[in-house]
Structure 1
């Protein structure tokens, strides 16, 4: 896995060298729940900033070149789920495509595609607070100095509106491919650890009835991508080993 990451970081860095100063390079990393896409996207973004720091010492810490934007911030709030025709089902299926604000995600991608000029303002993306289980608006700053944006999320390469329109605006689409049984084991562990489920049986039920149902749609309706990355069992690649939390939904 480490070799794949090095290759992907170098690929993005090399492409960035040819991007005009008025534009950004946009990369979207997708995959089913439990694929490891969050860990991959975060590490790629961090390593790009490390490369930038090596080449521009003294300015890189205050002006990182890369920003990491998880799609979790575009979850509909619990209040919005309550207002749906079938709120019980909406809450049970939280994480499905219809429980995200895809139009807001598309709007941000479009803004990031606008030319960068001297009067360009800092843009903001939402984050997700797992303590309150709701998104936090305008929590991730994307300054004009950010020239590479790494998105990650289940639906970044979904061939359905409005996700496919956002996908067309990306310079690179990556998909992290994982065996469903491997993903299920990761999800069961994650749900119990995060307190989403009280035990492995409840966690398995959630994985089978929600996460992997979404996963089938993600795989069956996937757009063509630039990179298909195989996710395998690798102890050194566990999120906690890399300094990141597990993906949580």
Structure 2
């Protein structure tokens, strides 16, 4: 994976150089839950910054901040389903995500604010992440970055590159089960596996079945 990270970092720097000094280069990193998107995004951003002569020019951010709040889910037409399926595409503010990507594209010389997700509160925090104009490469990772459904696909069209972390289903489920258990959101190992293969499994099926064409498929 180290060689792959180095290749992606160097290629992205070359792609940015071809665009010119005033351009902000956007990379979308998609994948199923537990695929390793966050790890890849952070590693490539660090690789770019290590290689860059201009300092820290790359920033990796998750789309987790676009989770609808619990209050919003409770007000949806079927609140029980919405709360149970939290993490599915329809439980995200996709229009808000599209707006963020468009602002990053339109305002390369401005600081753009994005939401984050507070895992202690289990809710998003508005304008918690500042993306400065010095961040000329922004890697945005999330399950639905390359989803072939509006408005996700309109956001994907704004990206300069789309990557997909291609991870075997059994590997992703095992990672998720360990993560759920470690975070304390489940009572025991059995519940962790049920969650990872149940709700998360449905989301993974949606990602795989509705994947847009991508520029890179990276083994996760």
Distance apart, 1:196 and its partner CA: 1.3
| Aligned residue among 147, 169, 180 for 1:180 | 169
Point out where structure 1 has 5 or more consecutive residues left out of the alignment. 232-249
Equivalence for 1:79: 71
1:17-32 counterparts in 2 under 5 A? 17-32=17-32
TM-score with structure 2 setting the length: 0.96
CA contact (8 A) 2:66 2:94 kept: yes
1:172-230 CA distance string (max 9 Å, x none):
10000111111111111110001111111111111222101110110010001000011
- Comparing both structures, which one devotes a greater share of its residues to helix? 2
Other structure's SS at 2:73 match:
helix
**Which residue among 84, 93, 107 is the counterpart of 1:101?**
93
Please, which moves more after superposition, 156-165 or 11-20?
11-20
Q: TM-score, normalised by structure 1?
A: 0.85
- In 2: Cα distance, 1:145 partner to 1:130 partner: 28
* Shift of residue 45, structure 1, vs aligned partner: 1.1
Q: How many residues align?
A: 220
Instruction: Indicate whether 1:191 and 2:168 are aligned.
Output: no
Greater Cα shift, 96-105 or 18-27: 18-27
Work out whether residues 114 and 127 of structure 2, in 8 Å CA contact, stay in contact via their aligned partners in 1: yes
Contact 1:106 1:163 in 2 (8 A): yes
Q: Is the 8 A contact 2:5 2:47 kept in 1?
A: no
- For residue 115 of structure 1, report the CA deviation from its aligned partner: 4.9
CA distance in 1, matches of 2:75, 2:21: 44
Aligned residue number for residue 7 of structure 1: 7
Q: Flag as ranges the 4+ runs of structure 1 deviating above 4 A.
A: none
Q: Following the alignment from structure 2 to structure 1, what is the Cα–Cα distance between the partners of residues 46 and 32?
A: 22
- Cα RMSD of the aligned pairs, angstroms, is 1.1
Counting only pairs closer than 5 Å after superposition, residues 224-243 of structure 1 correspond to structure 2 as 224-231=213-220
1:241 alignment counterpart: none
The secondary structure found in structure 2 opposite 1:121 is: coil
Answer yes or no: is the 8 Å Cα contact 1:23–1:115 preserved in 2. Answer: no
